[in-house]
Amino acid sequence: MTNWRAVFVGFLIATVFGIVGLVVPGVGQLAAGLLGGFVAGYMAGGGIGSGVWHGLLAGSLGGIIGGLLLAVAVGLAGLALGPLGGAISGAAGIGIFLLAVTISIVMALESAVAGAVGAAVSS
């Protein structure tokens, strides 16, 4: 059974450290995903499989919400630029979708590995 409290706490930690990690692009987001997945796996416990699952959920949730925020930002920028901005943001929509999916997959995988480590430590 999924421990949604562990997933939510892992997601919050990844989000907060991801925002702080903007100072060190790339490394900050990587560390944030690892830390969030570790905490989710540690809190969930129950073995390595459970840690992988909870870390995966925490990381993918962060990636999905990050992608949605990126899409909203581009949409608002397109809206502010009028008809030309709408055409530009519409053309960029496919790229934004692919970027959001890629970010979500990377965050989910790194968080899943960290979740397995967290669950192993808690056992």
| pTM, full prediction | 0.79
Residue ranges of the alpha helices (H) in 1-123? Answer: 4-20, 27-44, 48-80, 82-122
- Give the C-alpha distances (Å, rounded to integers) separating 14 from 43, 79, 87, 91, 119: 14, 30, 34, 30, 17
pLDDT tens-digit map of 21-70: 777 766 777 788 899 999 999 999 889 999 999 999 998 887 777 777 77
